[in-house]
C-alpha cells in the first residue's frame, strides 16, 4: 500500500524521531450533539521540572494509520509543555504485546501512560499496577472503565454506533427498504475491543428498533487494512444476499478502491454501507461510491486533550470528570467535496 512506508516513518518510539425514526439527518433527537466544551490548561506551573517528564502513548498497533492525527497533535502539545513523549505499540493488534509494553513502562517508572486498550479485561490489572506504582494512567480511543485509570479521552462509542444506525436508516428510507426484511454484514477490528463492541451495540439497538434485520456475520480484521479488504471481498463474493454493511472503523476504505472489485459491484447493485471514520482516503473512496455515509471521530482532539490532561495529572490536579468525549463528524455526498478541501491527504503528512 502506498502509505505503509509513511506509517513506519511516523511510528518511531520517541517523539523526536520518533423511537421514532426521523429521516432528518440533523435531528437533535436522533443524533448526539458534538462536544463544544473547551479545555484550557494552566501552563504557568513551574513547580515540576517538565523537562524530566516522560509521557508514553500506546496505541493499539503501529501498522494502523488512523492514530497518526492523535500522534501529531499530542507531539505538538508535548512540545508546548516541554515534556518528552514516547509512542510505542505492537506492530499489529496483539493484546499480549500491549501488556508487555505496559509492564516495561512500569519498570522504567515513566511519569504518565496514555493507552488505547485492545482488550480491556486483560489490560486492567496492568493499568492498576501502574497506578499503584505511582504512574498516572489514562486511556484514549478505547477505554478500560473497570480499571483505576484516571480518565478517558475519545469518542462516545455507543453514541457513534447509534449515529451510524440513524444514517443507515436514512439510507434505507431513501431506498424504500424500511419495511423489507434485511440482512446485514458487520466488520470490526478485534472482537475483544470494548470501544468497537460499544459501536456495534449502539448500531444494533437503534437499527433493531426500527427495521427487521438479520446479522449474517461479524468480520474481524484485527485492525489490518489488507486483511479487512480481503475479508470483505471474500464475503461479498460468496454471499450475494447482503443488503447492508456497517464497519466499526475505516479499515475497508483505507485500502485502494481497486482492491475491492466485488464490493464495488455490490454497491452498484444497491448495497448500502455506513462506515465509521472520515479520513481523507475514506472520503475519496466514499465520493467514488464506496459508502453512503461516513461517521467520523476527532483523533486530533484525542491527542490534544489527552496530553493536556495528563500533564495536569502529573502536576497534581485531582480529576472529578473521568470521561472527555470528543465530537462526531458526518460525511455524505452533500459535503464530500467540502471535507476534501479541509482534510490533508495522508501522502503529504
User: β-strands 293-296, 272-276: how paired?
Assistant: parallel
Q: How far apart are CA 332 and CA 340, in angstroms?
A: 12
If one counts every other C-beta atom within 10 angstroms of the C-beta of residue 1, the result is: 14
How many CA atoms lie within 13 Å of 136's alpha carbon, on the beta-carbon side?
A: 22
Q: What is the DSSP letter of 65?
A: G
Superfamily of domain 157-296: Response regulator (3.40.50.2300)
21-43 burial by CB neighbour count: b if 16+ within 10 A, else e? bbeebeeeebbbeebeeeeebee
11 CB neighbour count, 10 Å cutoff = 21
Nearest to 1 by CA among 65, 88, 67, 68: 65
Return the closest-CA partner of residue 301 out of 45, 63, 77: 77
What is the reported pTM?
A: 0.83
Determine the Cα–Cα distance for residues 296 and 93; give it in Å rounded to an integer.
Answer: 21
Q: What pLDDT tens digit does each residue of the chain (349 aa) get?
A: 433 333 333 333 334 444 433 334 333 334 443 333 334 444 444 444 445 899 999 999 998 888 999 999 999 999 999 999 999 998 888 999 999 999 999 999 999 999 999 999 999 999 999 999 999 999 999 999 999 999 999 999 999 999 999 999 999 999 999 999 999 999 999 999 999 999 999 999 999 999 999 999 999 999 999 999 999 999 999 998 999 999 999 999 998 999 999 999 999 999 999 999 999 999 999 999 999 999 999 999 999 999 999 999 999 999 899 999 999 999 999 999 999 999 988 653 4
Pairing of strands 329-331, 293-296: antiparallel
- pLDDT for the residue numbered 45: 45
Distance CA 31, CA 25 (A): 8
CA distance 74 to 277: 19
Confidence at residue 56, expressed as pLDDT on a 0 to 100 scale: 98
pLDDT at 347: 53
Cα distance between residue 218 and residue 246, in whole Å: 10
Give the pLDDT confidence score for residue 66 in this predicted structure. 87
Model pLDDT, residue 115:
98
Domain with CATH 3.40.50.2300 in the chain: 4-18+33-155+299-318, 157-296
Are the C-beta atoms of 294 and 283 separated by less than 8 Å? yes
In sequence order, the β-bridge partners of residue 346 are: none
Distance CA 128, CA 340 (A): 42
Q: Helices 299-314 and 68-81 sit at what angle, rounded to 10 degrees? A: 40
CA–CA distances in Å: residue 128 to residues 106, 139, 221: 11, 12, 29
The predicted-structure confidence for 251-298, as pLDDT tens digits, reads as follows 999 989 999 999 999 999 999 999 999 999 999 999 999 999 999 999
CATH topology assigned to domain 4-18+33-155+299-318: Rossmann fold (3.40.50)
Nearest residue to 326 (alpha-carbon basis) of 26, 32, 34, 60? 34
The pLDDT score that the predictor gives to residue 51 is 52
Cell of 314: 502529573
Amino acid at each position: 500500500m502506498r502509505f505503509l512506508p509513511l506509517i513506519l516513518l511516523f511510528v518511531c518510539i520517541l517523539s523526536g524521531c520518533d423511537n421514532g425514526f426521523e429521516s432528518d439527518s440533523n435531528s437533535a433527537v436522533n443524533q448526539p450533539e458534538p462536544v463544544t466544551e473547551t479545555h484550557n490548561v494552566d501552563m504557568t506551573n513551574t513547580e515540576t521540572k517538565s523537562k524530566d517528564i516522560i509521557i508514553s502513548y500506546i496505541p493499539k498497533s503501529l501498522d494502523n494509520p488512523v492514530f497518526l492525527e492523535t500522534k501529531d497533535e499530542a507531539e505538538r502539545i508535548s512540545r508546548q509543555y516541554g515534556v518528552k513523549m514516547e509512542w510505542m505499540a505492537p506492530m499489529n493488534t496483539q493484546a499480549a504485546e500491549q501488556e508487555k509494553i505496559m509492564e516495561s513502562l512500569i519498570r522504567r517508572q515513566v511519569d504518565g501512560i496514555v493507552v488505547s486498550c485492545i482488550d480491556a479485561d486483560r489490560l486492567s490489572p496492568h493499568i492498576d499496577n501502574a497506578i499503584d506504582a505511582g504512574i498516572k494512567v489514562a486511556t484514549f480511543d478505547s477505554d478500560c472503565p473497570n480499571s483505576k485509570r484516571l480518565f478517558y479521552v475519545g469518542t462516545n462509542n455507543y453514541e457513534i454506533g447509534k449515529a451510524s444506525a440513524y444514517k443507515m436508516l436514512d439510507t434505507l428510507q431513501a431506498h424504500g427498504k424500511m419495511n423489507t426484511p434485511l440482512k446485514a454484514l458487520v466488520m470490526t477490528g478485534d472482537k475483544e475491543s470494548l470501544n468497537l463492541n460499544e459501536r456495534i451495540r449502539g448500531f444494533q439497538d437503534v437499527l433493531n428498533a426500527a427495521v427487521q434485520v438479520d446479522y449474517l456475520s461479524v468480520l474481524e480484521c484485527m485492525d489490518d487494512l489488507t486483511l479487512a479488504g480481503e475479508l470483505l471481498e471474500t464475503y461479498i463474493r460468496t454471499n450475494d444476499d447482503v443488503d447492508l454493511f456497517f464497519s466499526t472503523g475505516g479499515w475497508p476504505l483505507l485500502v485502494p478502491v481497486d482492491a475491492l472489485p466485488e464490493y464495488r459491484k455490490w454497491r452498484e447493485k444497491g448495497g448500502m454501507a455506513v462506515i465509521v471514520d472520515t479520513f481523507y482516503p475514506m472520503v475519496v473512496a466514499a465520493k467514488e461510491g464506496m459508502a453512503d455515509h461516513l461517521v467520523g471521530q476527532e483523533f486530533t482532539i484525542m491527542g490534544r486533550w489527552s496530553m493536556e490532561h495528563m500533564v495536569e495529572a502529573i502536576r497534581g490536579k485531582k480529576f472529578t470528570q473521568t470521561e472527555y468525549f470528543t465530537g462526531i463528524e458526518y460525511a455524505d455526498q452533500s459535503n464530500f467535496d467540502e471535507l476534501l478541501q479541509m482534510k490533508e491527504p495522508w501522502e503529504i503528512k
